[in-house]
Structure 1
Amino acid sequence: MRVLAAMSGGVDSAVAAARAVDAGHDVVGVHLALSRMPGTLRTGSRGCCTIEDSLDARRAAERLGIPFYVWDFSERFADDVVGDFIAEYAAGRTPNPCMRCNERIKFAAVLEKALALGFDAVATGHYAHIVTDAAGNRELHRASDEAKDQSYVLGVLTSEQLAHAMFPLGTTPSKAVVRAEAASRGLTVAQKPDSHDICFIPDGDTRGWLAERIEPQQGAIVDRSGETLGSHDGATSYTVGQRKGLGIGRPAPDGRPRFVLEVRPRTNEVVVGPREALAVRELAGARYSWAGLDPVASGVTTAEVDGGTSWFACDVQVRAHGEPVPARARLAAGSASAPELVVEMDAPLLGVAPGQTAVLYVGTRVVGQCTIDRTTSAVPVDAAAEPARAS
Structure 2
Amino acid sequence: MSAGTSAAPLRVVAAMSGGVDSAVAAARMVAAGHDVTGIHLALSRNPASYRTGARGCCTIEDSNDARRAADVLGIPFYVWDLSEEFHDEVVVDFVEEYAAGRTPNPCLRCNERIKFAAVLDRSLALGFDAVATGHYARLVPRGAGVELHRAVDPAKDQSYVLGVLDQHQLRHSHFPLGDSTKTQVRAEAAALGLRVAAKPDSHDICFVASGDHAAFLRSSVGEREVPGLAPGDIVDDATGEVVGRHDGTLGLTIGQRKGLRLGRPAPDGRPRYVLDIEPVQGTVRVGPRERLAVHGLTGRRPRWCDDVPAPGTRFEGSDVAVQLRAHGAPLPARAQVSHDGDTLEVTLLESAHGVAPGQAAVLYTGSRVVGSATIASTR
Normalising by structure 2, report the TM-score: 0.91
Contact 2:98 2:251 in 1 (8 A): no
2:163 paired residue number: 155
1:166 paired residue number: 174
Aligned positions, number: 361
**How far does residue 227 in structure 1 lie from its aligned partner after superposition?**
3.8
- Name stretches of at least 5 consecutive residues in structure 1 with no aligned partner: 304-309, 377-391
SS in 1 for 2:195: coil
2:111 paired residue number: 102
SS in 2 for 1:40: coil
SS in 2 for 1:229: strand
RMSD: 1.7
Contact 2:302 2:342 in 1 (8 A): no
1:21 paired residue number: 30
2:359 is aligned with 1:352: no
2:375 paired residue number: 372
**How far does residue 31 in structure 1 lie from its aligned partner after superposition?**
0.5
2:124 is aligned with 1:118: no
SS in 2 for 1:75: helix
Work out the CA distance in 2 between the residues paired with 1:168 and 1:312: 31
SS in 2 for 1:261: strand
Work out the CA distance in 2 between the residues paired with 1:46 and 1:203: 10
Work out the CA distance in 1 between the residues paired with 2:156 and 2:322: 18
Normalising by structure 1, report the TM-score: 0.89
2:300 paired residue number: 286
Work out the CA distance in 2 between the residues paired with 1:251 and 1:232: 16
**How far does residue 25 in structure 1 lie from its aligned partner after superposition?**
0.7
Note the alpha carbon deviations across 1:99-148, whole angstroms, 9 max, x for none.
00000000000000000011110000000000002x22200000111111
Indicate which of 178, 190, 195 corresponds to 1:183: 190
Contact 1:42 1:53 in 2 (8 A): no
One-letter amino acid of the structure 2 residue matched with residue 178 of structure 1: V
Contact 1:319 1:357 in 2 (8 A): yes
Indicate which of 335, 347, 362 corresponds to 1:329: 335
**How far does residue 39 in structure 1 lie from its aligned partner after superposition?**
2.2
Indicate which of 37, 55, 66 corresponds to 2:46: 37
1:213-362 superposed matches below 5 A: 213-214=220-221, 216-225=229-238, 226-294=240-308, 310-313=314-317, 314-332=320-338, 339-362=342-365
Tell me which moved more, 175-184 or 287-296: 287-296
Work out the CA distance in 1 between the residues paired with 2:13 and 2:232: 49
Contact 1:316 1:359 in 2 (8 A): yes
Contact 1:162 1:292 in 2 (8 A): no
Contact 1:45 1:196 in 2 (8 A): no
2:199 is aligned with 1:192: yes
Identical aligned pairs, as a percentage?
A: 63
- Name stretches of at least 5 consecutive residues in structure 2 with no aligned partner: 1-9, 223-228
Work out the CA distance in 2 between the residues paired with 1:180 and 1:232: 48
Work out the CA distance in 1 between the residues paired with 2:280 and 2:162: 32
Note the alpha carbon deviations across 1:175-218, whole angstroms, 9 max, x for none.
11111111111111111111111111122111221122246301
One-letter amino acid of the structure 2 residue matched with residue 312 of structure 1: E
Indicate which of 209, 212, 219 corresponds to 1:212: 219
Work out the CA distance in 1 between the residues paired with 2:160 and 2:341: 25
Work out the CA distance in 1 between the residues paired with 2:193 and 2:376: 47
Work out the CA distance in 1 between the residues paired with 2:30 and 2:286: 54
1:66 paired residue number: 75
Work out the CA distance in 2 between the residues paired with 1:340 and 1:296: 12
One-letter amino acid of the structure 1 residue matched with residue 316 of structure 2: F
SS in 2 for 1:372: strand
Tell me which moved more, 259-268 or 273-282: 259-268
**How far does residue 232 in structure 1 lie from its aligned partner after superposition?**
1.5
